[in-house]
Structure 1
Amino acid sequence: MKIVALFSVLLAATTAQAQVKGKPFGFAAGVTGGGNAKPAAPGSLQELAQWLSDSVPRTILIDREWNFLGTEGKTSQKCCSTKTTTCEGGTSKGQAWIQDQCDGQWIPCTFDNAPRTPIDVGSNKSLLGVGTKGVIRGKGLRVTNGNKNVIIQNIHFTDLNPQYVWGGDAITLTDCDQIWIDHNKFSLIGREHIVSGWKPAGHVTISNNDFDGRTPWSVGCNGKHYWTLLLIGEKDYYTFAGNWVHDVSGRAPHMGTSKTSSENFFHGVNNYFQNIGGHAFDVDDNTWLLLEGNAFDSVTTPITDTTLKSGAAVYNVPDPSAGSGCNQAIGRNCEVNQVSKSGQFPPLTEASVLQKAGSYKSSLPPFTPVADVPKSVMGYAGIGRI
């Protein structure tokens, strides 16, 4: 009886630690995930996958490391090697490409199959890490098929064939809606940390995450991961707030496309972009960006030249006057961005961004002063910090 009682106490403590922390805000405001579903921890990889993909509202606790590597076998074939694989004179190894065509030379390669096939996540799910214990290794997640109302919080996604481009994506959003991705960590990912497909990703808040690009394998040959965030959905609305994006070299993020008649609105507020040995924002057509209160520290290219020619509409609050220009559209001033030890951040004040923002002002969270951003983000973003 004493053992049973002790187990009950420990289970209750674990459950208490793993409720959803905070409330979704921005474009994901109102997302409830599993709602009142009783929190439960799966007992096996198979049960975890089943619970994630079924149609039952669930609050799923990740109270340990779930390692999918080796569970679906490995593939040995030829991969494409280019100058980004050999890395002559670089400070890291390169990434070979898993693909069918090659403009370099073919080399033998062996990769794990599990990271290349994500688990599809059903509607009305909360996936919650317990303390710092929640790790999903060697497997990504995908929300698709019209599914919605999903919370992913306090999970470390890692080890998705980091040696290879197309080794696996951590989170994929396509043909979905109402997603809150909060307080997670992403590291050692083969391709994108977060990617949206050609179909709508819908209303998404990406908040307080640690996008850690440090890696022994890099197409930039500099130990910094290139494929960070690719957001190209047909109709997407993003709140990107309080994230720490560091030690990457590109797509941080890339968004928008001229290949479809997409419409993407992106509110980036109070993020910390640090040690980026390449570019942060790279933006294509059919995209409207409001960037305020972000800190850029040691970023080679905060925003690419191609962005300025793509047709993208950007309002990046270059000075207090531009900040006060927000007031009429969204009912408050915008915060200037802070750029230090970085490349040029050209002043961009496209009026159409504020017109769009006015339509969505109820979904635009307030800012904190940009001077506080580096310290607050580094102390708050990632797992075990909620």
Structure 2
Amino acid sequence: MTYTIATIIGARPQFIKEAPVALALRENFKEIIIHTGQHYDRNMSRVFFEDMAIPEPDYNLNIGSGLHGEQTGRMLAGIEEVLIKEKPDYVLVYGDTNSTIAGALAAVKLQIPVGHIEAGLRSFNRSMPEEINRIATDRIADHLFCPTEHAVSLLSKEGMTKNAFLTGDVMYDACLHFLPLSEQKSNIVQSLVLTGKEYLLLTIHRPSNTDNPETFLSILKAVAESPWPVVFPRHPRTKNVMKNPEIRDILSKAKHLKIIEPVGFLDMLQLENHALKILTDSGGVQKEAFFLGKPCITLRTETEWVETVEAGYNVITGADPEKIVQAIHTFYPKHEREQYYGDGQAARNISEQIKKVIIS
């Protein structure tokens, strides 16, 4: 008998995680991919499927952007319709986006077992929509696939131990698999004339940093003091705030700031791998920096990936310009990295665990 897994994805980080998981799942199951369309810009969606050879989505709901309630509600309705039609044996959701909670809710209400990849993460900042999504998803999912021991321990403190499994991190799987391919196929470092240069890599996309011009301006003022070139792949969310006159003035004066369009995973790996330091508010980029041994300056007041901070490879600055400038000039790791994220077999571990629970 062939069992069917319905995988719900919709945003850039989920595409990256899906790549190794799809390979592992399809050894044992039929997989249906439902793309909510949460990220729809080509540079935030299509390019990932092309670069990483992710199987084409069986369904694309084309939900697009919107207020959280509206977007999640439309996703819930669209996913439910597909699940009723396809009748999968299991639903798999990733991370902490609106696609995650919508997929989990749709499945649970139809009494279909749900597995949550990247379960157990907590920032303890309930103003982040992602924090609410991950807490709610962990509460209703049947199986919790945890990337780290810390994630398992947090679930234990919340009374969730029976169905929590330490699997390792699927993003580490993806990094190990695609780094050699990116070295062969990507020429972005050369095309930006960065070969042989020391440079910083900057990414900003969190609403807490992009929706408030003053916060965004604080970050840019600090980055403008960098003695090195700064490469800034601009997230679509930043376009409006960058129209602010003060921000435009800073950008016009920061000649060493290279603003580029969003890039695919292979190009991003090369930009990260050749950077001197990385500044970001992205959880995924924090981990990728750690995987590649790069100092990371996190433009938030907290992180889910506490291991990277404890290891001395990540420093939390928020949008405080003084802290950012100091970290740009002085922050470097002092110790060798420990291995927190598994051995590159997380996707296979998850597939095997699903196999056990479905057959039993």
Provide TM-score, normalisation by structure 2: 0.25
In terms of fraction of residues, the more strand-rich structure is 1
**Structure with the larger helix share:** 2
TM-score by length of 1: 0.23
